Structure 1
Amino acid sequence: MAQQLLLTGVVNESQLGQRLDQALAEMFPDYSRSRIKVWILDSRVRINGQVAATPKEKVLGGESIEIDAILEEDTRWAAQDIDLNIVYEDDDIIVLNKPRDLVVHPGAGNADGTILNALLHYYPAIAEVPRAGIVHRLDKDTTGLMVVAKTVPAQTRLVESLQAREITREYEAVAIGNMTAGGTVEQPISRHPSKRTHMAVHPMGKPAVTHYRIMEHFRAHTRLRLRLETGRTHQIRVHMAHINHPLVGDPLYGGRPRPPKGASDAFVELLRGFDRQALHATMLRLYHPITSIEMEWHAPLPQDMVDLIAAMQADTEMFNDRME
């Protein structure tokens, strides 16, 4: 069953000189470049109100884009019986608390075993919604809250809310180093020029804004609360590494174990064994896509982060006792 969806956006000035199909693939990353090319050739793409002529035409930046997308139900993805931790559900949305080691959407290296496969099993009708209702993602090893749409109207409105920055997402994290004050990182992010699985701060990237405040100080680490204004891939991880405070355990952005002097063997071992970025989506607030009622959910820290923070607290207390 085909679904129609209106996609809208504005070409970023950093995309100056790109081919249209390339620019649109970056603007709408949930859709492949080949699919976007078909939409252009089918006259489904408008630039500043005019139908685009060819995928090869160059963009200047600042153009208004509208795509009358048509999506056939994708039968490539198999329904799989995978447990989902459902925090909330109604006729229109599902709110999940995602565990570590679970990819959100099938892709290179993860053909199945994802949240999308689990959703198809849990609620088969979601197959009629593009991307099985997924409107935003969490990295494989980031835990916490994410919302999924059960219907096309709910998905359309949630995507619009995300684009309008009307959905609030807050995270807890543990960063390496002693941070003296909270602040904001406002640095554009793009794909790393040579490491294709990495993102990087780059002047020609897409705008990205991360706010952070300090929750707790440890001897050589800092517990943070962060809020996203934008939702770029790996945004918090890239921004914290950019200010020289990568997240503990981050395998891509420099979160190698750095135990403080005199730390116990048990604490050193725990730090070395923490093998994912210490990042958890702890709060999600949005206006319901159908009723417009404001709703908010909270997810407690997973056990591995609870243990990590407890060990850091114990290490700090032990050091303070020695100093007295």
Structure 2
Amino acid sequence: MSQSQNTVNLEAVTQPHHFGQRLDQVLADLFPEYSRSKLKSWILDGNVTINDEVNTTPRHKMAMDETVKVAAVMEVQTLSKPQDIHLDIVYEDDAILVINKPADLVVHPGAGNQDGTLLNALLNHVPDIDKVPRAGIVHRLDKDTTGLMVVAKTIPAQTHLVEQLQERTMSREYEALAIGTMVGGGEVDAPIGRHATKRTLMAVRETGKPAVTHYRVKEKFRAHTYIRLKLESGRTHQIRVHMTHIKHPLVGDPVYGGRPRLPREASDTFINTLRQFKRQALHAAQLSLFHPETEEWMTWQAPLPEDMVNLLDVVREDTKEHGFDDY
């Protein structure tokens, strides 16, 4: 992936209510489609003028009837080859795109995954999305986690969605199969940070960032539990780390899950199904948010993928066969 720059020239005149406000505050009011951090960076980089005089002080006090100009420098991300990769599009309009991500699809290019990613697919499906930072991707799912993701097609839409994530007004709900029989629902409130020694992994750490996961039991089996989860925060690997932290890792998790737990007298079908399930049994089932242009509250749902449906069927049948119907 390479980066080039695209400059958009912004201009506005300050109003009476801007008198005495700081420059960075005024810019946020005049150009709300851009994030405060981005606006501040343009001030510090000398890209902002007041009455044609460069000003690099975010705290500069403003007066009314001043002409403010901003050379808004945006990084344009380009890939050598946007790729025609199928996208399961759940919803699309001029501002956003909601997709149902399959397993095995990496969201961002990285070491070992330079192409064949969601970002490649987006650049092919929406060519102008290269003008939006990170090609409009505002949150991600792990490679082998399936389900719903929203992508911004414009900079204003991206700013709006990022604010919803930060303010926790965007709702994301997941379904998963966890190891062990859970008594009931609850929440995990435990900070997450980089693992102390395995730097590619995450872990619950006192010095980590705040993270809260709510969960409730949907169905109990002999040695597993089907659960619904809701995130308050969105840390890397959050659900997987939190469920492992409370001794109920997700079935199939190759990193945090450990060995499959096989109950006594399990059938060959049950054993083989669990051993052959090579990804975390985790699916982003529901996404709700305020539309960035209309402010309408919108909700989408994605059914469980076939491999998880089959997994649950096998576990459910095992439970019935061993007289645990009251579960």
TM-score range, shorter chain: 0.7 to 0.9
| 1:82-97 paired onto structure 2 within 5 Å | 82-97=85-100
Name the residue aligned to 2:269: 266
Structure 1 residues 148, 322: CA separation in 2 closer, same or farther (over 3 Å shift)?
A: closer
CA contact (8 A) 2:286 2:302 kept: yes
CA contact (8 A) 1:6 1:69 kept: no
Structure 1 residue 256 displacement after superposition: 2.3
SS at 2:173 equivalent: strand
Alignment partner of 1:314 out of 304, 314, 317: 317
Structure 1 residues 322, 117: CA separation in 2 closer, same or farther (over 3 Å shift)?
A: closer
State whether structure 2 residue 196 is matched by structure 1 residue 193: yes
The Cα offsets for residues 16-36 of structure 1, whole Å up to 9 and x where unpaired, read as: xxxxxxxxxxxx9xxxxxxxx
Structure 1 residue 192 displacement after superposition: 1.0
Name the residue aligned to 1:294: 297
TM-score, normalised to structure 2, is 0.79
Name the residue aligned to 1:54: none
Structure 1 residues 75, 244: CA separation in 2 closer, same or farther (over 3 Å shift)?
A: same
Name the residue aligned to 1:2: 6
Structure 1 residues 313, 89: CA separation in 2 closer, same or farther (over 3 Å shift)?
A: same
CA contact (8 A) 1:255 1:277 kept: no
Structure 1 residues 95, 222: CA separation in 2 closer, same or farther (over 3 Å shift)?
A: same
**Matched residue type, 1:118:** A
Structure 1 residues 141, 308: CA separation in 2 closer, same or farther (over 3 Å shift)?
A: same
SS at 1:72 equivalent: strand
Structure 1 residue 194 displacement after superposition: 1.4
Greater CA deviation, 277-286 or 255-264? Answer: 255-264
State whether structure 2 residue 114 is matched by structure 1 residue 127: no
CA contact (8 A) 2:83 2:120 kept: yes
Structure 1 residues 166, 69: CA separation in 2 closer, same or farther (over 3 Å shift)?
A: farther
State whether structure 2 residue 124 is matched by structure 1 residue 102: no
CA contact (8 A) 1:3 1:128 kept: no
CA contact (8 A) 2:34 2:155 kept: no
Structure 1 residue 120 displacement after superposition: 0.6
How far, CA to CA, are the matches of 1:316 and 1:80 in structure 2?
Answer: 44
SS at 2:193 equivalent: strand
Structure 1 residues 50, 197: CA separation in 2 closer, same or farther (over 3 Å shift)?
A: farther
Q: Specify the structure having the higher radius of gyration (Cα).
A: 2
SS at 1:119 equivalent: helix
How far, CA to CA, are the matches of 1:212 and 1:301 in structure 2?
Answer: 17
Name the residue aligned to 2:21: none
How far, CA to CA, are the matches of 1:209 and 1:310 in structure 2?
Answer: 30
**Matched residue type, 1:81:** D
Structure 1 residues 3, 279: CA separation in 2 closer, same or farther (over 3 Å shift)?
A: farther
TM-score, normalised to structure 1, is 0.80
CA contact (8 A) 2:251 2:260 kept: yes
Name the residue aligned to 1:18: none
CA contact (8 A) 1:7 1:69 kept: no
State whether structure 2 residue 243 is matched by structure 1 residue 240: yes
CA contact (8 A) 2:181 2:220 kept: yes
Name the residue aligned to 1:206: 209
CA contact (8 A) 1:215 1:225 kept: yes
**Matched residue type, 1:149:** A
Structure 1 residue 123 displacement after superposition: 1.2
Structure 1 residue 39 displacement after superposition: 7.8
Structure 1 residues 201, 49: CA separation in 2 closer, same or farther (over 3 Å shift)?
A: farther
| 1:146-165 paired onto structure 2 within 5 Å | 146-165=149-168
Name the residue aligned to 1:171: 174
Structure 1: 5+ residue runs without aligned partners?
Answer: 10-27, 29-37, 52-67
Structure 1 residue 292 displacement after superposition: 0.2
**Matched residue type, 1:187:** A
Structure 1 residues 309, 117: CA separation in 2 closer, same or farther (over 3 Å shift)?
A: same
**Matched residue type, 2:151:** V
SS at 2:187 equivalent: strand
How far, CA to CA, are the matches of 1:261 and 1:69 in structure 2?
Answer: 64
Identity between Structure 1 and Structure 2 (%) = 62
CA contact (8 A) 1:191 1:200 kept: yes
State whether structure 2 residue 148 is matched by structure 1 residue 142: no
Structure 1 residue 72 displacement after superposition: 2.2
Structure 1 residues 69, 206: CA separation in 2 closer, same or farther (over 3 Å shift)?
A: farther
Structure 1 residues 250, 8: CA separation in 2 closer, same or farther (over 3 Å shift)?
A: farther
Structure 2: 5+ residue runs without aligned partners?
Answer: 9-32, 48-56, 61-70
CA contact (8 A) 1:214 1:223 kept: yes
